[in-house]
Structure 1
Amino acid sequence: MDHEKVNILLVDDQPAKLLAYEVILKDLGENLVIASSGREALEVLLKTEIAVILVDVCMPELDGFELAAMIREHPRFQKTAMIFISAIQVSDIDRLRGYEMGAVDYVPVPVVPEVLRAKIKVFAELYRKTRELERLNQELEDRVRARTAELENSTAKLRESEQRRSMAIAAGKMGSWDWDWISGDWMWDEGQYRIFGVSPESFEVNPANVQALLHPDDVDQLRKAIAEFNRGTRAYETEFRIMRPDGEVRWCVGTAAATVDDSGRVVRVSGVTVDITERKRAEERQNLLAREVDHRAKNALALAQSIVRLTRADEVKAYVNAVEGRINALARVHTILSLSSWQGAELSRLIDEELAPYSLGGQIILAGPEVQLLPTTAQTLALALHELFTNSAKYGALSTRSGRLTIGWQVEDQLLTLSWEESGGPLVMPPKSRGFGTRSLLASVESQLGGQARFDWRAEGLLCRLEVPLTRKTGATAPSGKFEDAGSAELQRASG
């Protein structure tokens, strides 16, 4: 069922940035409201209910900090979520100032679309769920007041309430109950039995049996509720878990209200139980996604930093080309992984992406089965293949029309073996120096993936073999025979 849309206010003095935020956030399906200045944002807030405010820190006339301070001064907006976007390096003092002004988070520029969407979605869902709970509490308060103050004249209201409750029962998400505080008798409706996974025929409702169905860590919540009512509390709400007889654990939110006699003594407690398991699971998935996006972004930035720091070249143009090539290789594999929701990537797809610029006149032959790679393995092999293709195009078989390249791979006992065989190109000479490509290939394949990278510098063409576990293994042995350690040197050739 489609949820009710909430309003997200985007505040920035630059139209291009506002358009970019709209493009990033449009897939959330929420209402995006635009304001090109702080004053315009204040006018929008006075007319519209806003769930989340995305505001640029640096704006003329009224900057983000000043706008946040003015918003927080108004009672209506003291709990409105505000996210700052900053294109400059924000110091800890600035961050503290922002949080004091009411910001709940910062997003640096350049904005990572997935991160921004995840943050906005979390606060939009929080706003929506808060409003839902407020409405539920209001309904319950109205029901309690009707039963205590107008019991004799509330037949029509009770019938309407029963109809709403029946609809909730039909959906299997809500149940209601009554507890006679004097006699100890309990009454559960059909929805309450369904939530707890029991039936009226086989389950006797009493404190001991109910407590047996509660999660051990949440039993104290029941004792605390009873103590609160004994101290005069008239309403109580809490989240708790139940353990159904079949072993399934469900999350619920329970709201209870007390009915008192003329002397103020509690005579009955009535309540509503709502199954919120799906909401909890969605929140867990959202939190996991946010952490995963943050983790992947940091890993990508760290890898890009390593590429920039370790790349060497005699000329600026050569340096720029080398860095761009490696960054583009990383970007291509990220695109492939994104299309699979980061579940993995096909090895043949990685190879196709890297060889696309070099497929000339049937110089390249591929042979191997379909192999699904984990995200980490796919990233590592993509960079390794990029280095091999780049060096072959500069110095090896792909540098001449007569050159040939054969790439074959096979899988046995969860071990991927990939062979790279060049022929027909310039005469191969053993390498004499170590470069970024070889160092990164060795470090990633052998250290990160627990595999092996081996080279045979044949005069007729390079022969390279990569062995990579499809599931991480430890204690890999060093290669032997005529193959040399891949970390010994950068690929170098001399034409003969």
Structure 2
Amino acid sequence: MDHEKVNILLVDDQPAKLLAYEVILKDLGENLVIASSGREALEVLLKTEIAVILVDVCMPELDGFELAAMIREHPRFQKTAMIFISAIQVSDIDRLRGYEMGAVDYVPVPVVPEVLRAKIKVFSELYRKTRELERLNQELEDRVRARTAELENSTAKLRESEQRRSMAIAAGKMGSWDWDWITGDWMWDEGQYRIFGVGPERFEVNPANVQALLHPDDVDQLRKAIAEFNSGTRAYETEFRIVRPDGEVRWCVGTAAATIDDNGRVVRVSGVTVDITERKRAEERQNLLAREVDHRAKNALALAQSIVRLTRADEVKAYVNAVEGRINALARVHTILSLSSWQGAELSKLIDEELAPYSLGGQIKLAGPEVQLLPATAQTLALALHELFTNSAKYGALSTRSGRLIIAWQAEDDRLTLTWEESGGPLVRTPKSRGFGTRSLLASVESQLGGQAQFDWRAEGLLCRLEVPLTRKTAATTGPGKFDAAAAAELQRASG
């Protein structure tokens, strides 16, 4: 079927990608307009009516987010559909930022032609239908103005109903309602029933039943709205929660407007309800992430501070090397935990990170199953392993080509047992006193994790056995600021 072509704006600073988008979208039969920068895109928008904007997130000078913000500031383009193309992994926070800037969808790279065409086609058709609806509404209004006063009332009601339905379709997760202030009759559309989790066949819309679905803490919002309309308020907006019959709590924002008669009395109140639960949850996730990042950063900085303050050495170079080694070990485990969103870390990954500099000719042998560690346990064990590797490289089996090291571990009854066995290195003698590394290892494993650390200084090589619980909540998981103080105290005692 023939239809009026619409303009689609393609924005990317790479000509090859623009050409690829043109090839993908040419079969849609629309007008494709090209812009190689954000500024050029703005110039095009001011001169041309655009239905859909396809924009690359990463561009020099003016990136996709900045361009979207500038476009949304102009009244003409506040409803223009924008689709972001991103060649990088987009996080929840980046998606939230994009939607706040006005994006209606994301397309990842590599682009799937069928998916891109489908998305562009949907918004092109929506734009075309919207323009057609605007023209039809204009024609309808012209006819209404030509009709007699007897028909004006019924025509106005039809137009109001059409406007509410159009708003609900365009916005999504939206419902509209109408309340006859004189008779008390209510009208809910399908979207309103869907938001409240009820159906028209069983739910009678009246003030008592509606109030029963409101969250108890938000019931006063309804009473306040009624009181304000009675006192002359013409419009009202508020956020509130509903409790669906199945117990699910949903966040909504409601907007209502009053219709008055010639005597200034309220005769009807109409409104729109929008389900904003996902937005609220995104805000909660963002706040939780910010608090978690702050908590983890404080813990890491406090532990690093303790390492710097308590490390001992006879020479500056030795001191620097010791501090750098311990902080690098902490950084490596931090990276592993970050990749898992701080859910935990595999023991084998911790060991692999620490042994990387010492993997010489098969001197090291590992044996053990996959074991998931809590974040606090992973941090402590990473530092303990670092001390063992460092001492072995200086004085033990890893200091010679003939030395051998076996690291074996097993997990039983929610308890991890790790064995460190050296052989073939220099003759070992029991040390007269323990260094800071050994003392801090004992303090952290035994006091912080509630485990045990045993050292057997055999002549043929060190035998160390570490036992730690896998499920115990350590100080690092009980709240901000507790692990750092405990760790500092234990290391202070370890430093003697």
The correspondence of residues 362-373 of structure 1 with structure 2, limited to 5 A, is: 362-373=362-373
Distance across 2 between alignment mates of 1:382 and 1:24: 50
1:19 aligns with 2:19: yes
Residue aligned with 2:475, SS: coil
Does the 8 Å contact 1:434/1:489 carry over to 2?
Answer: no
- CA change 1:91–1:332 in 2 (3 A) is closer
Distance across 2 between alignment mates of 1:2 and 1:323: 73
Distance across 1 between alignment mates of 2:482 and 2:197: 67
- CA change 1:328–1:211 in 2 (3 A) is same
* Per-residue deviation, 1:281: 0.6
1:331-379: CA deviation from partner (whole Å, max 9, x where unpaired):
2112222222222221111111111111112211110001122222212
Does the 8 Å contact 2:302/2:485 carry over to 1?
Answer: no
Does the 8 Å contact 1:254/1:273 carry over to 2?
Answer: yes
Distance across 2 between alignment mates of 1:398 and 1:205: 79
* Per-residue deviation, 1:286: 0.7
Does the 8 Å contact 1:431/1:492 carry over to 2?
Answer: no
- CA change 1:90–1:334 in 2 (3 A) is closer
Distance across 1 between alignment mates of 2:170 and 2:91: 54
* Per-residue deviation, 1:235: 0.9
Report which stretch shifted further, 15-24 or 288-297: 15-24
Does the 8 Å contact 1:404/1:423 carry over to 2?
Answer: yes
- CA change 1:336–1:20 in 2 (3 A) is farther
Report which stretch shifted further, 354-363 or 428-437: 428-437
TM-score normalized by the length of structure 1: 0.65
Report which stretch shifted further, 96-105 or 299-308: 96-105
1:389-412: CA deviation from partner (whole Å, max 9, x where unpaired):
001100111111221111000011
Q: Corresponding residue for 1:252?
A: 252
Report which stretch shifted further, 261-270 or 408-417: 261-270
* Per-residue deviation, 1:7: 23
Runs of 5+ in structure 2 lacking a partner? none
- CA change 1:411–1:88 in 2 (3 A) is closer
Deviating above 6 A after TM superposition, structure 1's stretches of 4 or more consecutive aligned residues are: 1-151, 474-496
Does the 8 Å contact 1:174/1:273 carry over to 2?
Answer: yes
* Per-residue deviation, 1:488: 17
* Per-residue deviation, 1:11: 24
Distance across 2 between alignment mates of 1:329 and 1:28: 55
- CA change 1:2–1:179 in 2 (3 A) is farther
* Per-residue deviation, 1:466: 1.3
Residue aligned with 1:50, SS: coil
Does the 8 Å contact 1:9/1:52 carry over to 2?
Answer: yes
Residue aligned with 2:45, SS: helix
Report which stretch shifted further, 239-248 or 421-430: 421-430
1:59 aligns with 2:59: yes
* Per-residue deviation, 1:423: 1.5
- CA change 1:162–1:445 in 2 (3 A) is farther
- CA change 1:397–1:158 in 2 (3 A) is farther
Report which stretch shifted further, 354-363 or 457-466: 457-466
Distance across 2 between alignment mates of 1:25 and 1:377: 53
* Per-residue deviation, 1:448: 2.4
- CA change 1:107–1:261 in 2 (3 A) is closer
* Per-residue deviation, 1:465: 1.3
* Per-residue deviation, 1:15: 26
Residue aligned with 1:154, SS: helix
Report which stretch shifted further, 157-166 or 121-130: 121-130
- CA change 1:403–1:132 in 2 (3 A) is farther
* Per-residue deviation, 1:467: 1.2
1:10-67: CA deviation from partner (whole Å, max 9, x where unpaired):
9999999999999999999999999999999999999999999999999999999999
Q: Name the count of aligned residue pairs.
A: 496
TM-score normalized by the length of structure 2: 0.65
Residue aligned with 2:405, SS: strand
Report which stretch shifted further, 365-374 or 375-384: 375-384
Distance across 2 between alignment mates of 1:133 and 1:67: 29
Distance across 1 between alignment mates of 2:383 and 2:343: 19
Distance across 2 between alignment mates of 1:234 and 1:15: 53
Runs of 5+ in structure 1 lacking a partner? none
Distance across 2 between alignment mates of 1:167 and 1:479: 46
Q: Corresponding residue for 2:189?
A: 189
Taking only aligned residues, the RMSD between alpha carbons, in angstroms, comes to 10.9
Distance across 1 between alignment mates of 2:335 and 2:481: 38
Report which stretch shifted further, 137-146 or 248-257: 137-146
Distance across 2 between alignment mates of 1:315 and 1:279: 56
- CA change 1:355–1:214 in 2 (3 A) is same
Does the 8 Å contact 1:419/1:464 carry over to 2?
Answer: yes
Does the 8 Å contact 2:299/2:484 carry over to 1?
Answer: no
Q: Corresponding residue for 1:103?
A: 103
